[in-house]
Structure 1
Amino acid sequence: MEKHVVVIYPHPDDESFGAAGTITQFREQGVPVTYLCGTLGEMGRNMGSPTFANRETLPEIRKKELKNACEVLDMELRMLGYRDKTLEFENRSEVAEHLKGILEEINPSLVITHYPDHAVHPDHNALGAAAVEAVRRMDPEKRPAVWAQAITNNYLEELGRPDVINDVSKQFEKKMEAVFAHDSQAAPMLGGGKDEKDVMEYARQMFSKEAFFIWKYE
C-alpha cells in the first residue's frame, strides 16, 4: 500500500477529470493524498453556462470550486501560485526545485502527474516535465514512483499500452461529484444543454478507467 500520494496538475479540475477515481481508491485505503495545483485556471475560456463569471471574478470562483472538489475527494490542497497559461514560460529548473522541496517535505511514495509532450495543453506538458525532473533530482533511495498520465489522441500509437489501468467504475459517482464541483467548467466540457442522462452515459464511457505510465528513470 502507498504511504502518501502527491498529485501534481496545473489547473483546477485536472485532478477531477484526470485522476479522481484513483484518488478515491487511495483514500478508501486510508492513504493520504495531497494535490499540488499549479494555477487557478484564471485564463480558462469557460465563464459558466449560462455566464456567471468574467476575467476578474473567475480566479476566485475556480479557487472555491477547487476547494470544494478537494473536500469531495478528501485530499489536502496546496496551491503552487503560478499563473495560468504561463507555465511553459517559467524556468523549468526553478519549477522543478520548487516541487522538489515540497516533495522532500511530504516524502510521498507516489507522484501522479501529466506525461510530458502527451498532455495536450502547454501547461500540462510543462508542469508534468517539471514534476518528472523534480523527482529525478531527489535522492534515488527516497524517490517516489511517478505515474504519468497521457491524454493526447495518439498516445497509444506513440507510447504503447499504459502500465497502470485503473477500473474506477465503482468510484464513478464520487469522481463525477468532484467533476461537477467545478461547476463553471464541467457543464461546457461535458456538452452543456444535453440531456442529463446522455451526459452521464457519455461520462461513464469516458471516465470509468484512468490510465498511467510508470516513468522510467535511468
Structure 2
Amino acid sequence: MADSLPWIVAEAGTEARKHAPATLRNREPIADALADLLPASGTVLEIASGSGEHVAYLAGRYPALRWQPSDPDPAALASIAAWCEGLKNVAVPLELDAAAPVWPTAAADAIFCANMVHIAPWEAALGLIAGAGRLLAPGAPLILYGPFTRADVPTAPSNLAFDESLRSRDPRWGLRAVEAMDAVADQHGLARERLIEMPANNLMLVWRRG
C-alpha cells in the first residue's frame, strides 16, 4: 500500500544526506519499468529529486544516460549532491520549481518525476506537464510514478486513506486523477502511451511528445 505519511525533505533530519524510506522499496521496480521507456542515450531530467537516492541508483542502473536532478528545496539540493558525489553521469542538481513558467534548462531527452504531484499544489502538476511540453522533442517521454486515482478502477482503501491524510495536512495536496492528468497533457501536445501497474498500488504513467 502507499505510505501513510508523505516524505518531506525539511522533516528528514539534520544530516546533509537525507533518506526517504520508500526509496529502498520502490527503486528496483521503478528502474526495471524504465528499461523499456528511457532513450538509449541523452539527458534524463528528474523533477523533484528529493533526497537524491533515486537518481543515484538510476544513474548506476543506466550509466549510458546523463542524469540531471532538480528540486526547489535547498536542503534537497544538498542531499542530492551528497548522494551523487563521484557519479560521473549525474550533473550538478538544478534549483527548479516545477510550477515556474521558465525552467533553468532548455531541453531533455526524457523527464522523470516520482512521488511529487500528490504532495504539491495542483499548479505543480500543471507546471510539470507544461514544462515537458516545452522541453521534450517529438517522441520523448514524460514519466510519472506514484499513487493516482482512475475513474474506472476502484481506489485501494490504503490509497483512499493516504489521500485523506494528505488533504487533512494541506487541502492543496491529494491523489490526482489519471484522467485529469491526461487532459492537461493533451493541451501541451503529450499523449499517454502507457499505464503500468506498480507495487503498493502505485502507477507509472508515460506520455510522449507528439
State the TM-score, normalized to the length of structure 2.
Answer: 0.46
Q: Which has the higher strand share?
A: 2
Q: Which has the larger radius of gyration?
A: 1
The higher-RCO structure (CA 8 Å, 6+ apart) is 1
